Amino acid sequence: MNDIVEKIVAGDVRTVARLIRDIDDGMPEVREVLKDLYPHTGNAYVIGITGAPGVGKSTLVDQMVAHLRKRDKTVGVLAVDPTSPFSGGAILGDRVRMQRHSMDPGVFIRSLATRGHFGGLTQSTRSAIDVLDAMGKDYILVETVGVGQDEVDVVRSAHTTVIVVIPGMGDDIQAIKAGILEIGDIFLINKADREGCDKTMSDLRMMIEMDQKKYDRGAWKPPILKIQAVFDKGVAEFIDEIDKHARYLADTAGGLDFRASKTKVRQELGEMIKARLIEEVIDRLTESGDFDRAVESIIKGKIDPYTACENLVLPTLS
């Protein structure tokens, strides 16, 4: 077995940390490692936590880690924050809320920057989950960047997707829009002592109950819980709901191993092909100089970008 793989499976923190950096930085060597890691994955339970900026995702994750540790479970955390579109830099501040766990050998926390990736996660998140999975973490908590309405990538990688909202965000029409509210397996109303909590509760309940027919056929009905993460109120009950959802997945929805799920494998392979194709094509066109030449031609008005794109892409595919 590959030396790096051996160290990761043994839970070596430094090796894990470095590999995630290499994945993040797009080092081509990691592909071989990830291939060898794959047989060691599929054991972790992945929970996605998403919601708008400031709703309390990091604080919630911190409390979740505490509860899971009390149940003797090991935990990996991937926390995503945004990259500046101007400088390329980022302030990764999710850790501030979780630092009390940094010395716990049963917890591994990693901050990731979006680096221009849309969808709420990073390009590297899927592979980073695999690394923490292979490392032997029982639970992996993926905290998305603070999202708006349409950043739904997390649902592809998570067994349970948790939507965190706070009272007073938008009116009833927000609750029937497509996107983020459709992907929740569990809804949390955090900061539940604030005004408007009951209104938010009834809006969400109405939205969820519109799918009553689905639930009658046996589909999972997302529960809505009022919590106050910062005071640890309602978090234990929330973890119980995650357990229930896990049992639902295991018993009725095709099991917990995504590697055996046709839908998940289709999605993941599709995404992988997309990313790899773009990488290979852009690399080739940059190295040959064709990309820069096409840019020049467009600027000089010799060609339109649609034709240029066709001229560049089609030959690389044949």
Partner 1 sequence: MRQKRRVRVMVAKPGLDGHDRGARIIARAYRDAGFEVVYTGLHQTPEEIVAAAIQEDVDMIGLSSLAGAHKYLFLAVVELLREKAADDIVVCGGGIIPDDDIEKLKESGVKEVFTPGTPLDDIVKWVQNNVTPRQD
Select from 7, 57, 110, 126 the one that contacts partner 1 (CB under 8 A): 110
Rounded least distance, CB 94 to partner 1, Å: 9
Residue 305 Cβ, how far from partner 1 at the closest point, in Å?
A: 18
Residue closer to partner 1 (CB basis): 273 or 278: 278
Using the structure block, give the residue that is written with the tokens 């497509």. 178
Residue 316 Cβ vs partner 1, minimum distance, rounded to whole Å: 15
Binding partner 1 (rule: CB under 8 A), the pick from 1, 26, 149, 302 is 26
Question: Which of 75, 112, 77, 106 minimizes the C-alpha distance to 93?
Answer: 112
Q: Return the residues of window 121-180 that contact partner 1 according to CB under 8 A.
A: none
Is residue 194 a contact partner of residue 166, using CB atoms and an 8 Å limit?
Answer: yes
What are residue 311's DSSP bridge partners? none
> For 92-101, b where at least 16 C-beta lie within 10 A, e where not — what string?
eebbebbeeb
Closest approach, Cβ 31 to partner 1, in A, equals 12
SS3 state of residue 137: coil
Count residues near partner 1 (CB under 8 A): 36
Measured between alpha carbons, how far is 232 from 25 in angstroms, rounded to an integer?
36
Nearest 5°: phi and psi at 79?
A: -120, 120
Could you tell me the smallest distance in angstroms from the CB atom of residue 128 to partner 1? 12
Q: According to CB under 8 A, which one of 67, 69, 115, 221 is a site residue for partner 1?
A: 115
- For helices 290-299 and 262-288, give the axis angle rounded to 10 degrees: 80
Please report, in angstroms and rounded to a whole number, the separation of the first and last CA atoms in the chain: 36
Cβ 32 to partner 1, closest distance in Å?
16
Which span sits near partner 1 by CB under 8 A: 10-18, 31-39, 137-145, 256-264?
A: 10-18
10 sits near partner 1 (criterion: CB under 8 A): no
Q: How far is it, in rounded angstroms, from Cα 79 to Cα 261?
A: 26
User: H-helix or E-strand containing 131?
Assistant: helix 125-134
Kindly tell me which of 93 and 148 has the beta carbon lying closer to partner 1.
93
Interatomic CA distance for residues 141 and 154, integer angstroms: 11
Q: Which residue of 34, 66, 90, 230 would you call a contact of partner 1, by CB under 8 A?
A: 90
**x/- track of binding to partner 1 for residues 50-89 (CB under 8 A):** ---------------------------------xx-xxxx
Q: Does 313 bind partner 1 (CB under 8 A)?
A: no
Site for partner 1 in 217-236 (CB under 8 A): none
Q: Segment 245-304, which members bind partner 1 (CB under 8 A)?
A: 278-279, 282-283
DSSP string across 42-83? S-SEEEEEEESTTSSHHHHHHHHHHHHHHTT--EEEEEEEPB
Give the residues lining the site for partner 1 (CB under 8 A): 13-14, 17-18, 20-21, 24-26, 28, 83-84, 86-93, 95-97, 99, 102-103, 108-111, 113, 115, 278-279, 282-283
